[in-house]
């Protein structure tokens, strides 16, 4: 299972509009060479990257690829996700009878599984699997291609670049699955099922914002679409950005880095763009097809 977020596949016919609002150059504050910050779409088709001006030149100019976590061992990754998804109590202890029937019917219709089959799986995982399945059914295709985040890791390794992470998979699983109380996860699952008809349109809206490079609007939509509280948004996005900043600084001071993380981590007061600027770096959006010459 690849990294999980609500953002889904961007329609390739619209990708020509992608621009440098997703790609930023980091310079100044004593750096001898520029690094680059790129906002990814975790489930995007890899070929979309070819539509982003200057992206591959930036990638080629860097000797280190920095991702949220290093995805280099699929078997171990699957083992950790399965381990993190398990809970000791049954989901039936957290639902009313009406909620049980609602979720059971939805899971059987979309996944061919009963609620009893997954009763010891954390509700957030159930919700994510259900949501992805609904979207793929409506879209009538599956996101079987390598995710963009994984692509840059694989391409970097093949080109002899170092590949490093900002957090471990275990830390990411703790954040997604263990940091939110199970009762709250159950509420989110129920709301996901009840609003299933909205999944395609909400994702289409998210897709359009990503295509337009409107990362600020994407960030603002997070609470609305995910039914998140501000505290939950801080936990899932901003708190991680703050924790990542020292590592980002460590990496870019040593080597020119291509930093590819989810687009939601770029904007906002505690987004990586603003955090880097407050630390003293110049963070410049690359708006043209030409990337400027770098100091050597």
From first to last of its 296 residues, the chain has per-residue pLDDT tens of 333 333 322 222 233 344 448 999 999 999 999 999 999 887 666 666 677 888 999 999 999 999 999 987 778 778 878 888 899 999 999 999 999 999 999 999 999 999 999 999 999 999 989 988 887 777 655 555 567 788 899 999 999 999 999 998 888 888 777 778 999 999 999 999 998 888 777 777 877 788 778 888 888 877 666 667 778 888 889 999 999 999 999 999 999 999 999 999 999 999 999 999 999 999 999 864 444 444 33
For residue 129, give Cα distances in angstroms to 85, 88, 96, 136: 12, 20, 22, 11
| Structure-token pair, residue 84 | 């993190």
CA distance 282 to 261: 19
Structural domain that includes position 265: 12-285
DSSP 3-state helix, strand, coil percentages of the chain (rounded to 5)?
60, 10, 30
- Evaluate whether residue 290 is within a structural domain: no
- Evaluate whether residue 1 is within a structural domain: no
| Structure-token pair, residue 242 | 């703050």
* pLDDT at res. 216: 87
Max Cα distance, the chain (Å): 66
Beta strands in the chain (DSSP E): 23-27, 35-40, 64-67, 162-165, 257-262, 282-285
- Evaluate whether residue 291 is within a structural domain: no
The count of domains in the chain is 1
Beta strands in 77-133 (DSSP E): none
* pLDDT at res. 61: 96
- Evaluate whether residue 175 is within a structural domain: yes
- Evaluate whether residue 68 is within a structural domain: yes
- Evaluate whether residue 3 is within a structural domain: no
* pLDDT at res. 10: 28
- Evaluate whether residue 78 is within a structural domain: yes
- Evaluate whether residue 130 is within a structural domain: yes
* pLDDT at res. 2: 34
CA distance 119 to 131: 17
Map tokens 């440098």 to a residue: 20
* pLDDT at res. 1: 34
Q: Coil, helix or strand for 112?
A: coil
CA distance 192 to 188: 6
| Structure-token pair, residue 246 | 């020292």
């Amino acid at each position: 299972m690849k990294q999980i977020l609500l953002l889904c596949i961007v329609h390739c016919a619209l990708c020509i509009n992608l621009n440098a609002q997703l790609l930023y150059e980091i310079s100044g504050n004593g750096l001898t060479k520029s690094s680059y910050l790129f906002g990814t779409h975790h489930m995007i088709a890899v070929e979309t990257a070819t539509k982003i001006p200057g992206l591959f030149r930036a990638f080629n100019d860097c000797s280190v690829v920095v991702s949220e976590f290093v995805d280099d061992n699929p078997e171990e990754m699957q083992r950790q996700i399965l381990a993190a998804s398990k809970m000791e109590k049954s989901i039936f202890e957290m639902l009313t009878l009406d909620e049980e029937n609602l979720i059971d019917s939805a899971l059987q219709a979309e996944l061919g599984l009963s609620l009893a089959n997954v009763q010891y799986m954390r509700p957030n995982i159930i919700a994510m699997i259900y949501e992805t399945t609904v979207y793929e059914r409506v879209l009538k295709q599956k996101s079987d291609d390598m995710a963009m985040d994984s692509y840059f890791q694989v391409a970097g390794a093949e080109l002899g670049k170092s590949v490093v992470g900002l957090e471990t998979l275990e830390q990411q699983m703790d954040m997604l699955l263990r940091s939110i109380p199970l009762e709250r996860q159950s509420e989110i699952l129920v709301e996901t099922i009840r609003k299933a008809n909205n999944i395609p349109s909400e994702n289409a809206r998210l897709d359009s914002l990503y295509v337009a490079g409107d990362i600020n609007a994407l960030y603002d939509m997070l609470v609305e679409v995910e039914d998140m509280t501000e505290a939950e948004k801080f936990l899932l996005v901003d708190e991680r950005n703050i924790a990542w900043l020292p590592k980002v600084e460590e990496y870019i001071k040593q080597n020119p880095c291509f930093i590819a993380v989810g687009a939601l981590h770029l904007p906002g007061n505690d987004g990586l763009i603003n955090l880097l600027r407050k630390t003293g770096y110049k963070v410049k959006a690359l708006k043209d097809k030409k990337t400027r010459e770098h100091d050597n």
